[in-house]
Amino acid sequence: MSSDMHARAVQETIFDALVAARDKYGDKPILEDLDRNPLTYTGLIRAAMVLGRKIAAITEPGERVAILLPSSSGVVVTFYGLHAMGRVPVMLNFTSGEMNLKAAIKASGVKRILSAKRFITQAKLEALTDSLAEVAEIIWLDDIRKTIGLPDKLFGLMAGFFPKQFRVETQPSDPGVILFTSGSFGSPKGVMLSQSNLVSNVRQVATHIDLDPDWVMFNPLPTFHCFGLTGGVLLPLLTGMKAFQYPSPLHAKQIVELLPDVKASILFATDTFLNQYARVAGPDDFATLQFVVAGAERVRDETHHLFNTRFGGLKLLEGYGATEAAPVVAVNHPDRNRPGTVGQMLPDMEWRVDPVAGIETGGRLYLRGPNVMAGYISPDDPDRLEPLRDGWHDTGDIVEIDTDGYVSILGRVKRFAKVGGEMISLMAVEGLASAVWPESRHAVVAVPDSRRGEKLVLVTDRMDADSARLTEWARSHGAPDLAVPKRIIKVKEVPVLGTGKTDYVAIQRMVESEAEAA
């Protein structure tokens, strides 16, 4: 299957697309962060050219250079600075721990990491950067900024007027960024997205939803997460919207107070964070928002209910993406919003749904399109890509697509358990627990069981959770008894990743170690 338009990649580089946006929308304030010093298009281009030239002096052409920074104007300038001088940004997830970061550095062939002392001090990451310095050189942007003198400023002035004459020419098919998958179901994988993949995905979203250049996009998601990078940075900058970068999605109170202050029109976040924001927000805190977009994890019914009842029916649009697809694949539309689905496929997406043995409804989703990566970075050789077969990416997700093209995510292939010969969706079991205790967070994993093949374990922050309540609900709603977890582990907090996704790797480990200790 395919959407209406034939897949065609956008033949434009990331830097040239920024220059074209200035020509189209005029030189207006386009980027801001907590420091509240807005940059215009020209201000961003100049800053990127000046910083890029400084970085170019200490790196090789085409080198992969890592960025270890929070969402801020600084990370955007650094990202564009690398592109201006033909270097490849590698976005490092500073919440993923020393082991994963060192693996990412090795896998991507990174020799240098750009970071800022101010950020490392505030985030208390000194021990982490000390450890990373053993495998790569840490370059402090604070030190580089101190060396910017009059010749650099004059260069920036000229480059602001004639950016195409001063930037290093690259091709749309050249690398745009190296990111790492979230690792919520296993080891993070290195994903190489071309410049064309990223710009194409921006164009696909802008074709799907009519975006007003006068709007302000509020991005609290990290740029090491593809949703934060494409949705929170590239999408607004390339479509004329001002991008407000916030350094952490965890600051619920500060974020909801800032939204009306910066006149935010669109808020991007995950269900976990949106639920927290909705709980602390006053009735007017979301007044300037046109709509809210949720991705990266399933939106719970309770979150939809909060938005519907407390904020005058503010539209909460659920979408679906994958790092490998730059990342947006499908998203609901403000005028065609179907809660419970992730909306319709973006223009130019091709898809197929292959049947899976033992799973009766839906099938395994494969994707192809101008936004889909060329391949994963080989774990054995940073310079080798493992190409996709015929360009198809296997998402590992089980989906159902209705006659109107709305996509429903039923679970991941890895997130099905075989209990007593039946295939049980762990996502559906989590939904069962959420129906009984909607205000709590739940995760379900499967462990081997000698009698039934596998058994389900519920990990929850609901301290009075018990199997009897789940069984009672399942029976009254026609859910099979096999779908009720008999073992429940109560925790103060269900582990989540820095992106807000449930950390199933940590949960599986915890459940297995408890089983061994028992």
d(CA 322, CA 100) in angstroms, rounded, equals 19
Q: Using an 8 Å Cβ cutoff, are 426 and 445 in contact?
A: yes
Q: Using an 8 Å Cβ cutoff, are 410 and 427 in contact?
A: yes
Helix, strand or coil for residue 514? helix
Compute the Cα dihedral for 147, 125, 34, 71 and give only its sign.
Answer: positive
Better pLDDT: 82 or 467:
82
Q: Is the pLDDT of residue 365 over 50?
A: yes
* CATH T-level topology, domain 420-517: GMP Synthetase; Chain A, domain 3 (3.30.300)
Per-residue pLDDT at 183:
56
Per-residue pLDDT at 3:
45
How many CB atoms neighbour CB 72 within 10 A? Answer: 21
Q: Using an 8 Å Cβ cutoff, are 192 and 178 in contact?
A: yes
d(CA 359, CA 267) in angstroms, rounded, equals 36
Helix residue spans in 323-439 (DSSP H)? 426-436
d(CA 117, CA 126) in angstroms, rounded, equals 9
What token pair was written down for 68?
């270890």
Helix, strand or coil for residue 344? strand
Contacts of 22 (CB under 8 A, 6+ apart): 41, 42, 45
CA 192 to chain centre: 15
Per-residue pLDDT at 444:
84
Integer CA distances (angstroms), 421 to 4, 74, 92, 451, 463, in order: 41, 54, 42, 11, 31
Per-residue pLDDT at 113:
97
Q: Using an 8 Å Cβ cutoff, are 65 and 52 in contact?
A: no
What token pair was written down for 191?
């994903």
How many CB atoms neighbour CB 119 within 10 A? Answer: 20
d(CA 466, CA 381) in angstroms, rounded, equals 49
Over residues 449-455, the mean pLDDT reads 70
d(CA 160, CA 142) in angstroms, rounded, equals 22
Per-residue pLDDT at 450:
66
Q: For residue 55, give the H/E element and its range.
A: helix 41-56
Token pair 């509240």 is found at 36
Q: For residue 94, give the H/E element and its range.
A: none
- Which of these, 282, 250, 253, 246, lies nearest to 267 by C-alpha position? 246
Over residues 364-390, the mean pLDDT reads 89
* pLDDT tens-digit series, residues 324-358: 999 999 999 999 999 889 999 999 999 999 988 77
Which of 26-30, 43-47, 177-181, 415-419 is the least confident region?
415-419
Over residues 68-75, the mean pLDDT reads 95
Confidence of residue 185 (pLDDT cuts 50, 70, 90): very low
Over residues 59-63, the mean pLDDT reads 95
Better pLDDT: 508 or 126:
126
Highest-confidence segment of 172-186, 379-393, 401-415: 379-393
Q: Is the pLDDT of residue 420 over 70?
A: no
Token pair 């990491």 is found at 113
Confidence of residue 517 (pLDDT cuts 50, 70, 90): low
Confidence of residue 453 (pLDDT cuts 50, 70, 90): low
Question: Rounded to 5 degrees, what are φ and ψ at 298?
Answer: -65, 140
d(CA 496, CA 506) in angstroms, rounded, equals 9
- Which of these, 391, 412, 422, 368, lies nearest to 502 by C-alpha position? 412
Q: For residue 31, give the H/E element and its range.
A: strand 29-32
DSSP 104: H
Better pLDDT: 408 or 4:
408
Confidence of residue 6 (pLDDT cuts 50, 70, 90): very low
Over residues 168-197, the mean pLDDT reads 83
Q: Using an 8 Å Cβ cutoff, are 71 and 223 in contact?
A: yes
Q: What is the dihedral of CA 303, 262, 23, 373, to 10 degrees?
A: -30
Which of 205-214, 412-421, 453-462 is the least confident region?
412-421
d(CA 367, CA 244) in angstroms, rounded, equals 31
Query: Any idea where the domains of the chain sit in the sequence?
Result: 420-517
Q: Using an 8 Å Cβ cutoff, are 92 and 67 in contact?
A: yes
Over residues 234-259, the mean pLDDT reads 95
Q: Is the pLDDT of residue 208 over 90?
A: yes
Q: Using an 8 Å Cβ cutoff, are 433 and 301 in contact?
A: no
Confidence of residue 4 (pLDDT cuts 50, 70, 90): very low
Q: Using an 8 Å Cβ cutoff, are 364 and 394 in contact?
A: yes
Contacts of 399 (CB under 8 A, 6+ apart): 353, 362, 363, 365, 407, 408, 409, 410
What token pair was written down for 277?
């924001």
d(CA 30, CA 39) in angstroms, rounded, equals 6
Q: For residue 278, give the H/E element and its range.
A: helix 271-280
* pLDDT tens-digit series, residues 284-338: 899 999 999 988 778 888 888 888 888 877 899 999 999 999 999 999 999 999 9
Compute the Cα dihedral for 358, 484, 446, 392 and give only its sign.
Answer: positive
- Which of these, 500, 440, 432, lies nearest to 469 by C-alpha position? 432
d(CA 103, CA 47) in angstroms, rounded, equals 31
Helix, strand or coil for residue 24? helix
Better pLDDT: 433 or 166:
166
Over residues 355-373, the mean pLDDT reads 88
* pLDDT tens-digit series, residues 108-160: 999 999 999 999 999 999 999 999 999 999 999 999 999 999 999 999 999 99
